[in-house]
Amino acid sequence: MSNKIHALALGLVLALAAYCRLWAAPISAGPDVLQFWAFAQVFHLHGLDFYRYADATAAIFPFKFWGFVYPPVWLLLLGLALMVVPESTATYITVDSSWRLAMKTPIIFADLAIGCLLYWAVPGSKIRKLIFTSLWLFHPTSWYSSAVFGQFDAVAAAFLLASIILLERGRDRLAFLLAGLAVMTKQHTLVPIAVMAVIAARQMNWKRLVSNLAILAGVVILFSIPFLLTGNFSAYASSLFLPGQLRYQLPLTLAFSGIGAALTYVHGVFGWETIRFFPFTFPVMVMALIAVMVSSYRRAISPAQGALVGFLIFISLSYQVNYQYLIIYIPIALLVASRTQYISERVFTLALALFPAVWLWLFDVSRWFTRFSPADPSSIPILARIGLTHQVLPDYVYVFFALALMYLALGYVIYAFRGSDKLEPGGGAIES
204: confidence class by pLDDT, cuts 50, 70, 90: confident
Mean pLDDT computed over 345-353: 95
pLDDT at residue 138 tops 50: yes
429 located within any domain: no
Residue 330 lies in a domain: yes
Are 264 and 396 contacting, i.e. CB atoms less than 8 angstroms apart? no
Q: Is residue 174 part of a domain?
A: yes
Q: Is the pLDDT of residue 180 over 60?
A: yes
Would the pLDDT of 339 be above 90?
A: yes
Name residue 401's amino acid: F
Taking each helix axis from N to C end, the angle separating 343-354 and 395-418, rounded to the nearest 10 degrees, works out to 150
Least confident of 95-109, 209-223, 236-250: 236-250
pLDDT bucket at 243, cuts 50 / 70 / 90: low
Higher-scoring residue by pLDDT: 8, 424: 8
- How many other C-beta atoms can be found within 10 angstroms of the C-beta atom of residue 343? 8
Q: What helix, strand, coil percent values describe the chain, rounded to 5?
A: 75, 0, 25
Mean pLDDT of 34-42: 97
Torsion 225-226-229-233 (CA) sign: negative
Specify the DSSP element, H or E, that contains 405.
helix 395-418
pLDDT of residue 421: 44
Report yes or no on 431 lying in a domain: no
Q: Does 199 reside within a domain?
A: yes
pLDDT at 392: 84
Q: What mean pLDDT is predicted for residues 119-136? A: 94
**Confidence label for 6 from pLDDT (cuts 50, 70 and 90):** confident
| Domain ranges, residue 62 | 2-422
Which helix H or strand E contains 255, and what residues bound it?
A: none
End-to-end CA, the chain: 24
Burial 88-118 (b: 16+ CB within 10 A, else e): bebeeeebbbbbbbbbbbbbbbbbbbbbebb
pLDDT above 90 (res 233): no
- Check residue 419 and give its pLDDT: 58
pLDDT given for residue 429 in this prediction: 35
The pLDDT of residue 230 is: 87
Residues 133-144 have a mean pLDDT of 98
pLDDT band at 238 (very low <50, low <70, confident <90, very high): confident
| Residue 427 is assigned to a structural domain of this protein | no
Q: What is the mean pLDDT of residues 291-312?
A: 92
Helical H segments across 204-342, by residue range: 206-228, 233-241, 258-270, 281-298, 303-317, 326-339
Going by pLDDT thresholds of 50, 70 and 90, the confidence category of residue 174 is very high
- pLDDT at residue 240 in the model: 86
Evaluate if residue 242 carries a pLDDT over 90: no
Cis peptide before 251 (omega within 30 of 0): yes
Residues 6 or more apart whose Cβ sits within 8 Å of residue 425: 300
Q: For residues 258 and 315, what is the distance between their CA atoms, to the nearest angstrom?
A: 9
Quickly state the pLDDT bin for 231 (edges 50, 70, 90).
confident
- Number of domains composing the chain: 1
Q: Dihedral through CA 220, CA 318, CA 296, CA 309, nearest 10? A: -100
- Pick the closest to residue 173 from 202, 149, 148, 204 (CA basis): 204
User: For residue 428, is it within any domain?
Assistant: no
Find the mean pLDDT for residues 321-326. 96
Residue 236 CA to residue 304 CA, distance in Å, equals 31
Contact 320, 285 (CB under 8 A): no
Q: Is the pLDDT at 424 greater than 50, yes or no?
A: no
Percentage, residues of the chain above pLDDT 70: 96
Average pLDDT on 336-350 reads 93
Band of pLDDT at residue 412, cut at 50, 70 and 90: very high
Q: How far is it, in rounded angstroms, from Cα 126 to Cα 172? A: 26
Give the C-alpha separation, 366 to 379, whole Å: 8
Q: Do 215 and 193 contact (CB within 8 A), yes or no? A: no
